Amino acid sequence: MALAEAGACGRLLLWPRVVLFGDSITEFSFRENGWGAYLAERLVRKCDVVNRGLSGYNTRWAKLILPRLITKSAGAENTVAVTIFFGANDSALKDLNPKQHVPLEEYAANLKSMIQYLKSVDITEDRIILITPPPLQESAWEKECLAKGDRLNRRNATTGEYARACVQVARDCGTDVVDLWTLMQNNQDFSSYLCDGLHLSPKGNSFLAAQLWSRLEKKLSALPFLLPYWRDVDHTHPEATLLPDALQ
């Protein structure tokens, strides 16, 4: 059977997708041992994991970009889960980092706006997972700042305020949430979860991946395995297995 004929006989295969939307912690998630790569490995042949991480972005910019990433005509119908992971930049100190800083109340309002937009394109709240910023290890991040000629431009206590606001938004809007800021500090030294005081280390990536997987596994367990296992393909007549529409 010619390729053109095969294409005409079979329906286009549309993989469901999980969209990871966030800042640099999301953008870096497909690096070796990253939390996004972990999810992609476990969901292969079930859905695509799409990285829409934007390094340095805050919620003020993110809410403007989101409608360009997901629309009713481009991706919403096939989107089975969305993670929204912002706050590390929003919580930067205004006096020392005014470009990235977003006031606390606006941060919460921006998260709500993004959730409302997703609902408007039929991505329901049960498919949305908010992730709070992780805790900030100030001494390590200060070294990063000093190396660039800057002063420490974030504080862990301030990041905690944004994390609590994120959790409250999730409660108000009925979405799931991973409270990374709290979970990483529960009765332990959290510095090993971070590589530079702000971004995730391999251990931090593994920790977040496990937290997300415990939530996504329930949501996505019903997704079918896409295309037959190779041993189940009729090797004498593969089109009978792979192009069932052609036989109808």
CB 62 within 8 A of CB 113: no
DSSP letter for each residue of 55-107: TT--HHHHHHHHHHH-BTTBBTTTEEEEEEE--TTTTS-TTT-TTT---HHHH
CB 60 within 8 A of CB 110: yes
Q: How far is CA 195 from CA 39, 86, 90, 176, 231, in A?
A: 20, 18, 20, 27, 43
191 as an active site residue: the answer is: no
CB 197 within 8 A of CB 141: yes
Tokens of 142: 């200060």
List 150, 172, 196, 234, catalytic entry: 196
**Strand order in 17-22's β-sheet?**
48-53, 17-22, 79-85, 128-131, 176-178
> Which candidate, 36, 42, 41, places its Cα nearest to that of 21?
36
Tokens of 150: 């800057």
Tell me the residue type at 204: G
Tokens of 9: 């006989």
**Cα gap 216→226, rounded to integer Å:** 18
120 as an active site residue: the answer is: no
**Cα gap 228→244, rounded to integer Å:** 12
199 as an active site residue: the answer is: yes
Catalytic residue annotation: 24, 196, 199
